[in-house]
Structure 1
């Protein structure tokens, strides 16, 4: 009994020390580190990582090129985040659509891919995912939509048909899942105070200045590289850029290397 009490005491003391050290690093040291190196001190650390079962991992390996390229260690991080996403956010099928585990996995993996460079990744600007079988009438604009992020009701909405089409065609730079979750990242990044959001906001500000510089903007528009919808506003430009970043990264890097690097730093992206 005494041994058990001693073990529990050591564990609790160690945990408290770890939490205090983590807080000190993130609140005192890390802002300076980010300013110097434009990346966080660390991203992935999980005391008790959650695991997906083999069937779930098989789906990720066969349906997500991003996941397949990860090292085995980073696959365990990805698995943990997918598990936590599905546990943390609720899914709602509309118009008779039955939400399956495969649907949840595909939505979760798309989000985790986009936010894999953020230490804080369960953003609180949404709490539900609503899936329609096809295009639906938006309550925001009274017209048919394929997807949207509605921060007022903390919802991400997808037409499942168009979500799948975007995922299965991986080279046309039209990916509904990436596009709508990019709006989430953008919205969160400009409004929250954690260090990942601060990195996003600071790099985004620099990016915005460059693309709004008249000669740069003219070159972007004349290149026809990004579809015209990208120039609607800064939110749409970021979303379209991230579609290109994940679907055709080599083309993006060749066409606009400086812009590509801005995006890479903004979301703290690293290969495998």
Structure 2
């Protein structure tokens, strides 16, 4: 490749990045959001998609029904995001050796939860800490199965409880989804990125429901959400997202409006929850 061709490619790349950052981010995307209340080009990867090793893909196929049901083009998008997740965040084992499949396991849940968001990798956490079992948290001075520790910028899990809640996939308890939702909630309170704004706007409407005693009693009487949902706004949201992914048909039938608000909040394509 001669120098002039190399410079032309470099110039084109710089122009493309400038277009994305200025015209798209500052003009086109906000306009689209203003009209349609959602982000555009969620799965636009101008520099190509990263591929996962076959061992990672096979692990996802064996352990994630959601991934297994995706058409091939969506699987490629999912693979790219898992690859990016694994390269962005640090994994630390506390009295446990963190194996590659453990990383893929957590990446799979995070990517599933954020699959409708364009800006899915957030800076409100930097590391994932895994304990073998329930652990004592010096932050809250209590024993936990999992937590989002903001001062440490860490999401912390008991591996035993991650597996237990993964294997029982229709009881609406999922530790990975629960704690990663806390991360997204906190990110939405701080970020001005479009996916975070959509998340925050829909959650504000949910919070109005949460503050309304009459509406909350009506929800409570249905007996669909477990009692922990009513602890505070943060737990309410995390429990909602657990139900959204584990029993979506029941959720939609029981609380249709809340289901729709949840779907819009994470900009999720509902068909991906059910398709064969």
Instruction: Mark yes or no: TM-score above 0.5.
Output: yes
Report the equivalent of 1:14. 12
SS in 2 for 1:190: helix
**1:74 and 1:9 mapped to 2: Cα distance?**
34
**Mean alpha-carbon deviation: is it higher for 227-236 or for 31-40?**
31-40
**Mean alpha-carbon deviation: is it higher for 57-66 or for 205-214?**
205-214
Report the equivalent of 2:216. 217
> What is the Cα-based RMSD across aligned positions, in Å?
1.3
> Is 1:160 aligned with 2:159?
yes
**2:8 and 2:202 mapped to 1: Cα distance?**
42
- Taking structure 2 as the reference length, what is the TM-score of the superposition? 0.94
**Mean alpha-carbon deviation: is it higher for 209-218 or for 105-114?**
209-218
Aligned length: 269
Report the equivalent of 1:31. 30
Preserved CA contact (<8 Å) 1:135 1:144: yes
The 5 A counterparts of 1:107-118 are: 107-118=106-117
Q: For structure 1, which runs of at least 5 residues remain unmatched after alignment?
A: none
Report the equivalent of 1:84. 84
> Is 1:177 aligned with 2:191?
no
Report the equivalent of 1:99. 98
Preserved CA contact (<8 Å) 1:135 1:145: yes
**2:262 and 2:76 mapped to 1: Cα distance?**
25
Report the equivalent of 1:146. 145
Report the equivalent of 1:50. 50
**Mean alpha-carbon deviation: is it higher for 154-163 or for 82-91?**
82-91
- 1:171-226 CA-to-partner distances (Å, cap 9, x unmatched) read 00010000000100111011111111111111111222234333311101111111
Preserved CA contact (<8 Å) 2:210 2:233: no
Deviation for aligned residue 1:231: 0.8
Deviation for aligned residue 1:20: 2.2
